[in-house]
Chain A
Amino acid sequence: MAGQTRLSRYLVVVFLTVVPLTMVAPLLGAALPLAAAGQPTLDDQVRAIASRLRCPVCQNESVADSPSELAVQMRALIRTRLQSGEAPDAIVAYFVSRYGEWILLDPPRRGVGWLLWTAPGVALLLGLLVTVAFVRHAVRRGDGEVRQ
């Protein structure tokens, strides 16, 4: 009996939360311009490529974000190349051939770059190993004390 009343109370709570949530969700849907999520427009494609490139004349800004003249020109160039049907990777390769790999904000995963991409993972793995060892040790020590 008690279990059943608890269950029904639970269902009331869930119901009372679900109804407002389903009312909020369409609002959220309106807040996020979801239509844009379907097909990427030309603007989106230009932005995607430009945000992988460093603006050569700025202090640490991407071509997508920089208001500088050179960045504006580079964005226009990306646009015309995309319109003429060139693949995004080919466009990026073109900029690399002109400015060097330095222009990539996303450094290549080889050579020295390989170290960069793996080091964080190694750090995480080491941390996990140490933690597991520590937890097992600390728990076992506790068990030992209890038994004594």
Chain B
Amino acid sequence: MTAVLGSVAILLASVAALTGIGLLLRGRARRGERLIDLGRWMAVAVFAAVTLAVVALEVALVGFDFSVRYVAMNVNSGTPLLFRIIGLWGALEGSILLWAWVLAGATALVAVRYRGRYPETVPLALALLLGIAAFFLLLMLGPANPFVRLIPAPAEGRGLNPLLQNHPLMAIHPPFLYLGYVGFSVPYAFAMAALLSRTLRDEWMMVTRRWTVAAWSFLGAGVVLGAWWSYEVLGWGGYWAWDPVENAAIMPWLVATAFLHSVMVQERRQLLRLWNHTLIILAFLLTIFGTFLTRSGILGSVHDFTQSSIGPLFLGFIAIILGFSLFALIARRGEVRDSGTLPAVISRESLFLLNNVVLLSIAATIFIGTTFPLIAEAAAGVKLSVGPPFFNQLTVPLALALLVLMATATLLPWGPPPPGILRRFLAPVLLSALFVAVLAAAGVRRGLTLGAFGVITFTALAQLAEFHRGARALRRAGSRSYPAALLGLFRTNRRRYAGYLAHLGLALAGITASSAYKTESEHTVRRGEVFRGPGYLLRYDGATASQAPDKLVVAATVSILRGFNLAASPEPSTYARIGVLRPAAHLYPQQRRPIPTPAVRSTWRGDLYLVLLAIEKDGSAVFRVSSNPLVPWIWTGGLLMAFAGLVSIWPARRG
């Protein structure tokens, strides 16, 4: 019943989308207000119909309706409620439905919010958005139908991919990523509408600024949460593997970051108009490309949970969008003129241009590295792999250069630099140099690590210096306390100070520390035996097996003992126990290989990360212990960036 309802809803949504496109285009050509209004209602109808389909699939998932193939594949009678609900994005068909739903929601929001405003661009933008939605809806009518039925219905389902069922982060990581991906459709649609309708002023950019920042924040949060999931679930002790799917998510984020900066140059100086159109088109194309990489299974990936035949359709869609966008850009290139000028060679404006070059170079490096194995095999018949060593060697220097630019651009004002500007650099440069010296004295030897810490500190101090300068100026203007002045900065120029907040770069400190100072060792130990972890002694206290509804859990108990030196005291039992870790292996009926679930002890200084690799026949256990310094900084810093993005666009209080 629900399956039929869902299928009908998808069909209705497709019809409404196509009708809406027709009405909007016709209405725009004839200046027919009524037709355009009907078109708007079609956009709302698409959202309503897709919502109905989502509800239908959720009802089937939650209610164990195994007559729906998607449910039978991704749920079994042991699947807990939370994972039945999020089964919606556990596999291909459902995630396409989620994508279409988010896009339909954004489209409906545009239709309602901009009612009667921007009559030149909004109908075109809506038509484009409905066109993109139509592609995803048609996918669901064809090769990615979530409502295919199984007759007769099987008595038991197969269940979700265990990796996806193993951690609650799975509940929020994909929706954030999709909100980010889909969010770029709106600025793209407005940018294209501006090109096509020749409303070539900067209106589209102002209209969609909030959308772009929101999409950027969600995508960033999605990437960080994905890394966190990988760290907590895959059990390899890392968080970023330069995996194709990870690369696919970071590329649009990098391009969007470039866009957020170059847009400011356009606002201030009426420059880079064509360039900003290009960037937003690129960001949108990369989100579709990312969905294609994730969902087609063309590149083997640890995040790849679907294999299907939708690849060619996606490639066709990408080709159409690319051709259409390029055509529009080239046809209008003479009309998208820059009217402004640059005031000085060395200024914040030019540094923003360099920032664009570096960000795009990083994105290009990742793109080349990700697609090269495919291209080399297709063109030269050579099978090769491009992995972390390549990406690290090329992107790390670029990232450091980017940080220096970031710090310098923060300290420089817009326009020609005033005399005495160098004084602003004094404190951050001296202090970060001092910090490097202290680190070197403390024993940090590798030049790259020292340099990275120096540059990160410089960048962070530059942001703090700007906060300090702003707060001092506010205090001078009124007699407020210093903390109140700091908060006041966000009231006076929220966008600017939210930007500085995003620049703090705590995540980068975590990445540097954990990649330079990760240590790892493997131990095979008998029950009661004490072994040496990084900074702690550990004692294996035995293992238990318990049957959960959906899985068999084999958990080891490991005590953390205070003290470093195993040899100094012959009696380790005298050490105080400061904590317990319970690394486990989960055995799911739908998969032969056990899924290791690491146990992590986090402090601000870093993580003690313990994986249970195996329990041998004689009862001894094999553990992998690693120390991952400053890793919690990555999650905190990454989410702070996303938070800062949302702060910058939060509507100001009126009155």
Binding site for B on A (CB under 8 A): 10, 13-14, 17-18, 21-22, 25-37, 43-44, 47, 51-52, 54, 59-62, 65-67, 100-107, 111-113, 116-117, 119-120, 123-124, 127-128, 130-131, 134-136, 138-139, 141-142, 145
Interface of chain B residues 308 through 356 with chain A (CB within 8 A): 338, 340-345, 350, 353-354, 356
Q: Looking at chain A's contact residues, is the secondary structure mostly helix, strand, loop, or mixed?
A: helix
Closest-by-CB residue of A relative to B364 is A123
Contacts of A101 in B (CB 8 A): 383-384
Tell me if A107 and B443 are in contact (CB < 8 A): no
Binding site for A on B (CB under 8 A): 235-238, 241, 243-244, 271, 299-302, 304, 338, 340-345, 350, 353-354, 356-358, 360-361, 364-365, 368-369, 372, 376, 380, 382-390, 394, 398, 427, 430-431, 434-435, 438-439, 441-446, 513, 516-517, 519-521, 534-535, 596, 605-606, 611, 613, 627, 629-630
Minimum Cβ distance to chain B for residue A103 (Å): 7
Tell me if B517 and A36 are in contact (CB < 8 A): yes
Instruction: Supply 23 A–B pairs (Cβ within 8 Å), ascending by A.
Output: A33-B519, A33-B534, A35-B443, A37-B443, A37-B517, A43-B520, A52-B389, A59-B302, A60-B387, A66-B236, A104-B384, A105-B385, A105-B388, A107-B390, A112-B382, A116-B368, A116-B369, A117-B390, A119-B368, A124-B357, A124-B361, A138-B342, A142-B343
Tell me if B387 and A25 are in contact (CB < 8 A): no
Out of A10, A26, A51, name the residue touching B389 (CB < 8 Å): A51
Tell me if A105 and B389 are in contact (CB < 8 A): yes
Provide the bound-state CA to CA distance between A107 and B246, in Å: 20
Tell me if A120 and B387 are in contact (CB < 8 A): no
Tell me if A32 and B444 are in contact (CB < 8 A): yes
Provide the bound-state CA to CA distance between A136 and B350, in Å: 10
Out of A60, A120, A138, A142, name the residue touching B365 (CB < 8 Å): A120
Q: Looking at chain B's contact residues, is the secondary structure mostly helix, strand, loop, or mixed?
A: mixed
Provide the bound-state CA to CA distance between A3 and B606, in Å: 44
Contact A54:B385 (CB < 8 A) given known A32-B513, A120-B361, A120-B394: yes
Closest-by-CB residue of B relative to A144 is B341
Contacts of A130 in B (CB 8 A): 357
Contacts of A62 in B (CB 8 A): 241, 387-388
Provide the bound-state CA to CA distance between A31 and B443, in Å: 12
Closest 6 CB pairs of A and B: A105-B387, A142-B341, A106-B389, A31-B605, A29-B442, A127-B357
Minimum Cβ distance to chain A for residue B71 (Å): 26
Tell me if B434 and A100 are in contact (CB < 8 A): no
Tell me if A31 and B629 are in contact (CB < 8 A): yes
* Contacts A59-B301, A116-B376 supplied; 13 other A-B pairs, CB < 8 Å: A10-B427, A28-B442, A32-B444, A32-B629, A34-B444, A36-B517, A60-B387, A67-B613, A105-B389, A116-B386, A120-B365, A120-B368, A131-B353
